[in-house]
Structure 1
């Protein structure tokens, strides 16, 4: 029996497409020659048809079985997005196994934690970099008291640099497929039987939580969880087989599993994979996706790119874009509230789109976009507004790994820039008396892998998911406003309730600020009082600004120490303070000598700040900020490009915003520009 004929049926012969593998086999039978996936290699798109996809999944599943993998086990996948990632995922699911995705940037103990929790015996890895990390992990002794690694085979799908590796634990992906093809010839009905015997309630994917306060937990998501979510989302925003989707965010993230896999397979969407990270933007422009889902950092980085380009343009182009943006902003303000622009404004908007905003959308790869989504963290209202002004239908999603990444979304023509929308069909929501957001739907996860106590604390007996997030319903729109993690919502001395994250996002709206971490006043009698902040620079935009100002520098550390850069950030922070109640305005800040790094556990792989790590690692700086000191001395290890490193003593300046005023006559910087 060919893979395309597999699928099982209910009475009457209708396809029983309630699992990912059965959906794939249905698509392979109905559209065998249509393109399912395409990957760019050496500048040429290499297509894989639905029939070819199904055949490779069958071969890989047989190959995994030949390695001794059995129903109920977990297969780990570590690497960037490639067709082999999804082939391995669907192959494992076909034989009743689950897949745990690991971020390609994961290292050391984080990697060990996930592999030991999952008890994975086979890891599918991308390339030499990932293989080296795994081999090193297998060679190292497990920390005292920890579980041993059970990894027996590492299957790699990019052989470059691995030709001379002789370790018997290694196996090339093509060899795994060849093993599977040979096994399938001997057991021709096995694969079809495995797919047919699968259940919608089987675990399909295990996604790690963000792990901002502890080691990430492993959330079990069933086929039913994910496919139900996909159906409910597409009731709000239909997706068709003709829609294009570019997959560049890690499959380990629930957001990519949600859109590329669940919605993609449900609707037969072609998935395109960029050649590598350096060609990602040009590949995005070439494909011109209809749908795109990215966390705020991607949308913010694209805005920063626009700001740099426009700042480098001549005065005429800047003037034309400024006019076009203003027209687009006025039009968008009406459309997001369901109003129709008048004839005059509509005509001006068409002209503005041709000469100003459409070229920007095209440069960003968003020329054909029907809708874009953002989620995982709040997106600043001004950034949100920018995209609508240039004609991008950007919408906020709210959800968690524990509910398949989505529960609440904006509707077209009903978008408020400070909210996340209303629940999707099939989702119930309520706010407790103490402000916690509770969610209930068929997409609530099965539980945390091997952590029943944590599961019981998260999902109550009535099926309500306790998100741990604080929020409220906006009185004018009825839409959900998410404040922050409930434990991080604080009360100022004057009774004002606030979120550090809200203040941080106000600071991060500046194109010059990459990350900010805000701290409340300490309780010591010697503390000066007021909110304080650690700020890291966006090296691209600050570097461009420094070049325009003819300000020379050598390293990031050197740039962050420049008095001119401190003045630049002081103006941005003062602008952010204008919209905040006086009791929660930032009074002092320091420009950190380095960027926050996930490899140092300072931020997660999805770029969420680990506040406890920051508070511990930079305790001396935070204490100096709270005391109102003028500067603070620290010791820092500097690593150079040649791999050598040295420890240096650095003196960081502390800027007091209470004594700073914006120079007279200096206007507010427009959203689309980095220039004053």
Structure 2
């Protein structure tokens, strides 16, 4: 089949076909296996997709059917989604760390008939649920290790499915061509499930037209070059990964690179040196924590050098943001810093070749943002939503700003309604929620999508996102209370992993803190503070004092009424398995407020201690209760203020 046989390149598989014809030998997608990068050319990528699609056809898969992929980022799993779409089906990626109840809900709600699983772990998970999945017909696995003795009739290897496809193709030589040509931009390409911050996730139906237009709009305002390396490490179920690893990669011929495992991402990132990168705030915060820890562990001389050039870089970055000129001494200092600090740090992070990097998915604290910008990393903000095919607004190189998310992308109209909610209209707006027409009608009004985010346009026409509209409240004196803004201030500390602030209709702001076990543990060991577990570490008085100092630093940049006055150290991390966070690491505020109602009452009742019973969910779905007494601490002492200063 030639591109000329197709009326247009208006679906994702047609873009793959175009790339295979125009650039057959160029690298399309890679994966690292046993320490070696294995490359599929665009032609090889297309052939794998075609053969697997024909294998699905031989199994009875037809237009409108759904196929789910579960596992880490792998070429075979991306090809499986494109194969599904080539046949007119819908891809349904799910989070690889989903617990049983989450997986059952999505697979049943989406009416999935075939699951493509990465390895034995994912196969075991799906097999354990097969009695609860009445529509499941086949489980196809990619990595056969550990599966040689399995004899369940549901199972089939990815290679066996492709062999079926090759045989089917010999008997039906025009089948793939006809199915591919029949695809239309209005066809549903995938059902992307939302993170479910307020309840069960919703199935967002995205068409080929939605995804391609989103990719093209983004490419118009960003310097993307053919063959740019893109590291595909974010969960395949997150729409941000889909937008780039499929949408932008196919539209602009990026080379997608899949790391060996989640544990080797940082090493693979440094080895690859990608040209562009997207990461949620948690990743950037982790990178910052690593650099802070390395600085603290360095010799006194190296630490002083690092802190000197870091302060210089951040000072110069602020002057650039304000449009002020740098002095000659500052310029010379930055040149020296590039040789001694900034260049080596970028190399350590694997960003030496990155022309642009984006943060998205949630707000990133301004301090963290400026740290990376000042070290020569072209970090910018992007704003989007699952219902908008991931992308709505972004910053260009000349307008990077930690306080905005940039301008709306081309052909996307954005407005603010009377309640302050951000609304948009454009070719990237989703088709609707799968099997939820009533919620679709509430979310889409005359083609305008209600994002649920509160925001406004600044004087330069840049979009500013305050918080989720439902989360923005007021303190009892009428002051605006935006919890994410306060939480991001605290999470700049390498010792604080998560923070949840409360204060709506209350006289003061209080916070629950989940410490970062790795950095706090290292801090404790250096000071001879013994501990046995996360719970034990969080109860140490020395740790409470450490966190008080970190909160005081955050308070120093906040108005008095918005400063955290009381805090508590949780005896466990906030976990997605316990429904406290989504799989994209967003706090499920309503659930957390209900679960920790006793804590909130104790905060505002002036109590010094509170008894907390927590329900813990294991990976297999079993639950257990943990009851413990937790200390509540007060802020505001003169000593803390002095240390913060």
TM-score band, normalised by shorter chain = over 0.9
SS of equivalent to 2:80: helix
What is the alpha-carbon distance in structure 2 between the residues aligned to residue 232 and residue 335 of structure 1? 28
The answer to whether 1:551 aligns with 2:551 is no
The equivalent residue for 1:508 is 491
The equivalent residue for 1:13 is none
CA deviation string 1:379-410 (max 9, x = no partner): 00000000011110101111100111111111
> Residue 337 of structure 1 contacts residue 414 of structure 1 at CA under 8 Å; is this kept in 2?
no
> Residue 212 of structure 1 contacts residue 604 of structure 1 at CA under 8 Å; is this kept in 2?
yes
The equivalent residue for 1:394 is 379
The answer to whether 1:154 aligns with 2:151 is no
> Residue 522 of structure 1 contacts residue 626 of structure 1 at CA under 8 Å; is this kept in 2?
no
The equivalent residue for 2:163 is 178
The answer to whether 1:469 aligns with 2:453 is yes
C-alpha deviation, 1:542, in angstroms: 1.0
> Residue 476 of structure 2 contacts residue 504 of structure 2 at CA under 8 Å; is this kept in 1?
no
The equivalent residue for 1:58 is 50
Alignment of 1:272-671 (within 5 A): 272-336=257-321, 341=326, 344-461=329-446, 463-475=447-459, 477-520=460-503, 529-635=507-613, 649-658=627-636, 660-663=637-640, 666=643, 668=645
The equivalent residue for 2:5 is 8
C-alpha deviation, 1:638, in angstroms: 8.3
The equivalent residue for 1:143 is none
Closer, same or farther in 2 for the Cα pair 1:537/1:667, shift >3 Å?
A: closer
C-alpha deviation, 1:578, in angstroms: 2.5
The answer to whether 1:33 aligns with 2:10 is no
What is the alpha-carbon distance in structure 1 between the residues aligned to residue 172 and residue 607 of structure 2? 74
C-alpha deviation, 1:338, in angstroms: 6.2
> Residue 578 of structure 2 contacts residue 616 of structure 2 at CA under 8 Å; is this kept in 1?
no
The equivalent residue for 2:60 is 68
C-alpha deviation, 1:194, in angstroms: 1.1
Closer, same or farther in 2 for the Cα pair 1:453/1:286, shift >3 Å?
A: same
What is the alpha-carbon distance in structure 2 between the residues aligned to residue 435 and residue 329 of structure 1? 33
C-alpha deviation, 1:323, in angstroms: 2.5
The equivalent residue for 2:104 is 112
What is the alpha-carbon distance in structure 2 between the residues aligned to residue 343 and residue 370 of structure 1? 26
What is the alpha-carbon distance in structure 1 between the residues aligned to residue 623 and residue 250 of structure 2? 48
> Residue 71 of structure 2 contacts residue 117 of structure 2 at CA under 8 Å; is this kept in 1?
yes
What is the alpha-carbon distance in structure 2 between the residues aligned to residue 221 and residue 502 of structure 1? 31
The equivalent residue for 1:671 is none
> Residue 7 of structure 1 contacts residue 196 of structure 1 at CA under 8 Å; is this kept in 2?
no
What is the alpha-carbon distance in structure 1 between the residues aligned to residue 411 and residue 618 of structure 2? 53
What is the alpha-carbon distance in structure 2 between the residues aligned to residue 215 and residue 644 of structure 1? 19
Give 4+ residue runs of structure 1 displaced > 4 Å after superposition.
334-344, 635-641, 643-649
The equivalent residue for 2:184 is 199
C-alpha deviation, 1:124, in angstroms: 0.7
The equivalent residue for 1:21 is 13
C-alpha deviation, 1:318, in angstroms: 1.3
CA deviation string 1:269-291 (max 9, x = no partner): 11111111221111101110110
What is the alpha-carbon distance in structure 2 between the residues aligned to residue 640 and residue 615 of structure 1? 22
C-alpha deviation, 1:661, in angstroms: 3.1
C-alpha deviation, 1:584, in angstroms: 2.8
What is the alpha-carbon distance in structure 2 between the residues aligned to residue 644 and residue 236 of structure 1? 48
Closer, same or farther in 2 for the Cα pair 1:208/1:296, shift >3 Å?
A: same
SS of equivalent to 1:487: coil
> Residue 230 of structure 1 contacts residue 262 of structure 1 at CA under 8 Å; is this kept in 2?
yes
CA deviation string 1:236-262 (max 9, x = no partner): 102111311111001211111111211
C-alpha deviation, 1:618, in angstroms: 2.0
Alignment of 1:117-132 (within 5 A): 117-132=109-124
TM-score, normalised to structure 2, is: 0.96
> Residue 7 of structure 1 contacts residue 26 of structure 1 at CA under 8 Å; is this kept in 2?
no
Closer, same or farther in 2 for the Cα pair 1:60/1:636, shift >3 Å?
A: same
What is the alpha-carbon distance in structure 2 between the residues aligned to residue 266 and residue 339 of structure 1? 39
Alignment of 1:84-123 (within 5 A): 84-123=76-115
TM-score, normalised to structure 1, is: 0.91
Closer, same or farther in 2 for the Cα pair 1:67/1:418, shift >3 Å?
A: same
How many residues are aligned here? 644
> Residue 475 of structure 2 contacts residue 504 of structure 2 at CA under 8 Å; is this kept in 1?
no
Closer, same or farther in 2 for the Cα pair 1:290/1:187, shift >3 Å?
A: same
2:75 aligned to 79, 83, 99, which one?
83
> Residue 335 of structure 1 contacts residue 413 of structure 1 at CA under 8 Å; is this kept in 2?
no
C-alpha deviation, 1:615, in angstroms: 1.9
Closer, same or farther in 2 for the Cα pair 1:467/1:636, shift >3 Å?
A: closer
SS of equivalent to 2:558: coil
CA RMSD after TM alignment? 2.1
| The 10-residue stretch of structure 1 (507-516 or 56-65) with the greater mean CA deviation from structure 2 | 507-516
What is the alpha-carbon distance in structure 2 between the residues aligned to residue 565 and residue 50 of structure 1? 53
The equivalent residue for 1:235 is 220
> Residue 552 of structure 2 contacts residue 644 of structure 2 at CA under 8 Å; is this kept in 1?
no
> Gapped runs of 5+ residues in structure 2?
none
SS of equivalent to 1:662: helix
CA deviation string 1:443-485 (max 9, x = no partner): 0111111111111111111x1111111112224x432221112
